Amino acid sequence: MAVNVQGLSDNARKTATTELNARLADGLALAMAIKQAHWNLKGRNFIAVHELLDTVHANLVAHLDVMAERVQILDGVAIGTAERVAEASSLAPYPVDLTKSDDHIRAICDRMRDHGAKLRAAIDTTEDAGDADTADVFTAASRTADKDLWFMQSHLE
């Protein structure tokens, strides 16, 4: 079994790179959906939701940057072009005809829930492959995603 400079097996490195790029594609699609909502929402609590979406977007993008950098650390290629994200994302396409705040919040929450579930699966997959550091990257992203989802869902209560 070949071992790279980080002391990981080729399987661990390849598994982690695959998982990182998959979560990167979903995360970038989610980031674009959040901006779609941010730009187009109207309704009660407009400014609160508008500003919350900025915060959720910033939190997400910070974790995506760490994921892309981890791919590089593992000697992979981080794939994040719009065309490749559109092909690779497993999230449901975001509707472009929404305007009401509650409709945007529900649509974003659905995608955040899906993204969070896939982050948790990636934790197990990379841990099982022998890359605890990448599992930690996913754990941090999952923890933030869960908190942001809670904030978003609270607007619907």
Ramachandran area for residue 7 (φ above 0: left; ψ -120 to 50: alpha; else beta) = left
CB 43 within 8 Å of CB 101: yes
Which domains are seen in the chain, by residue range? 10-154 (1.20.1260.10)
Question: If you write DSSP's letter for every residue of 86-146 in order, what string do you get?
Answer: HHH--SPPPPSS--BHHHHHHHHHHHHHHHHHHHHHHHHHHHHHT-HHHHHHHHHHHHHHH
Q: List, for residues 42-77, the tens digit of each pLDDT value.
A: 988 899 999 999 999 999 999 999 999 999 999 999
Residue 5: what pLDDT? 55
Q: pLDDT band for position 157 (50/70/90)?
A: confident
pTM of the model: 0.94
pLDDT of residue 3: 47
Residue of 75 and 3 predicted with greater confidence? 75
Mean pLDDT of the chain: 95
